[in-house]
Amino acid sequence: MSETTKPAYSPGLDGVIAGESAICAVDDVHGLRYRGYGIEEMAAKVPFEDVAWLLLHGEMPTETQKKEFAKDLSASAELPEGMTGILKSLPKKMRAMDQLRTAASALAAFDPDTGKFDHEANLRKSVRLLSRLTSVTTAGWRISQGKEPAIETKESLASRFLFGLTGKKPEAWRVRVLDTIFNLYAEHEFNASTFAARVTASTLADMYSAVVTAIGALEGPLHGGANEQAMTMLRDIGKPEKAEAWVKERLAKRDKIMGFGHRVYKKGDSRVPVMRGLLKEVGERVGQPKWLEVCLELDRVMEKEKGLFANLDLYAAPVLMLLEIPSELNTPLFACSRVAGWCAHVIEQQDKNRIIRPRSIYTGKAPREM
């Protein structure tokens, strides 16, 4: 780039086109589409494993491919002894996302394909990551609670996640709800964690390094961490009558309200109607309909006060709470699903790679003598 050319600059890369991708499209008009399929239609219709396959391969799996994929995921579910040992060696008070990031990094040591970058090796690593992030998240949680890991290998990832926490076979309705949540979280174009993963992948670093990068980026409350913070907020508000005053007080202090706003969606998050439906269903089922009322009231007040709409995380937080998932695991759970999107992006990036290396505008001192 010539020194005299003035590059286009957009703080936060707002609106910047930073690459091409055939994996996912998102906009206010068509909502969110995975490989062309609308998420509103597919979220509750197909299992997460099919969605993960679709993201990784570009088409829905055939019956044979479904069986093979399930077999491969099962085969990777158990954690190597050394990995369990690492989880047990971590401080019990470690935050769940720190534990997951550490564990994801360590998993590279147990993958025979680490260091290989070809398409097939990347696909094999994707399967192991998809299967094992759920295992390390739930095993790590149980270990931090002074319990032994409980790893189910045969069932779906949603079922394995729930079993992994309680050690008991989960009820079918809980598995179905979590499966839909996994589908909603699986992929979202060039969001911060996915973009971070692509930057790392573009140096031809290993897929594990890219996923560890992504987990780090996901943790923050402006991204994936919002679903844990949203639950803290909802508990603090407690009932719909308190929502308006609570929000106004925070907005007066220019605080960010977790679970609201989005870089891409300006007319509402296309995943919200499905998640709102889950909150209604689960709230009624377990006799706690008030959380939907609190969210709806927050939605009303935020639109009136700021013209902002809820994103997926606002409605996900109470659904996860009603599924009895500890809120510390909300963001790790997000990672267990989004890893499907991350891996698909790493593969796409490395299949047709050019290093991602933007420029900055220098705002420091003018050239000077020592």
**Stretch 281-310 residues interacting with ligand COA (CB under 6 A):** 306, 308
Kindly report the backbone phi and psi dihedral angles of residue 38, in degrees, each rounded to the nearest multiple of 5, phi listed first.
-70, 130
**Stretch 306-345 residues interacting with ligand COA (CB under 6 A):** 306, 308, 311, 313
Of 74-82, 259-267, 327-335, 354-362, the segment contacting ligand COA by CB under 6 A is: 259-267
Residue nearest to ligand COA (CB): 261
> CB-wise, 255 or 351, nearer to ligand COA?
255
- 313 classed as catalytic: yes
Which of 256, 267, 285, 304 is in the footprint of ligand COA by CB under 6 A? Answer: 256
> CB-wise, 180 or 331, nearer to ligand COA?
331
**Stretch 97-126 residues interacting with ligand COA (CB under 6 A):** none
Of 72-80, 198-206, 220-228, 321-329, the segment contacting ligand COA by CB under 6 A is: 220-228
Q: What is the 3-state secondary structure (H, E, C) of the chain?
A: CCCCCCCCCCHHHCCCCCCCCCCEEEECCCEEEECCEEHHHHCCCCCHHHHHHHHHHCCCCCHHHHHHHHHHHHHHHCCCHHHHHHHHHCCCCCCHHHHHHHHHHHHHHHCCCCCCCCHHHHHHHHHHHHHHHHHHHHHHHHHHCCCCCCCCCCCCHHHHHHHHHHCCCCCHHHHHHHHHHHHHHCCCCCCHHHHHHHHHHCCCCCHHHHHHHHHHHHCCCCCCCHHHHHHHHHHHHCCHHHHHHHHHHHHHCCCCCCCECCCCCCCCCCCHHHHHHHHHHHHHHCCCCHHHHHHHHHHHHHHHHHCCCECHHHHHHHHHHHCCCCHHHHHHHHHHHHHHHHHHHHHHHHHCCCCCCCCCCCCCCCCCCC
Of 92-100, 149-157, 218-226, 284-292, the segment contacting ligand COA by CB under 6 A is: 218-226
> CB-wise, 45 or 256, nearer to ligand COA?
256
Which of 195, 260, 309, 315 is in the footprint of ligand COA by CB under 6 A? Answer: 260
- 179 classed as catalytic: no
Question: Is residue 15 at the binding interface for ligand COA, with CB under 6 A as the rule?
Answer: no
Question: Is residue 246 at the binding interface for ligand COA, with CB under 6 A as the rule?
Answer: no
> CB-wise, 70 or 308, nearer to ligand COA?
308
> CB-wise, 140 or 261, nearer to ligand COA?
261
Which of 149, 170, 261, 318 is in the footprint of ligand COA by CB under 6 A? Answer: 261
The minimum distance between CB 14 and ligand COA, in angstroms, equals: 6
Catalytic residue among 111, 113, 299, 313: 313
Q: Which residue has the tokens 């709409």?
A: 309
The minimum distance between CB 83 and ligand COA, in angstroms, equals: 30
What is the C-alpha end-to-end distance of the chain, expressed in Å? 27
Residues at the site binding ligand COA, with contacts judged by CB under 6 A: 12, 222-223, 226, 256-263, 306, 308, 311, 313
Which residue numbers are catalytic? Answer: 262, 313
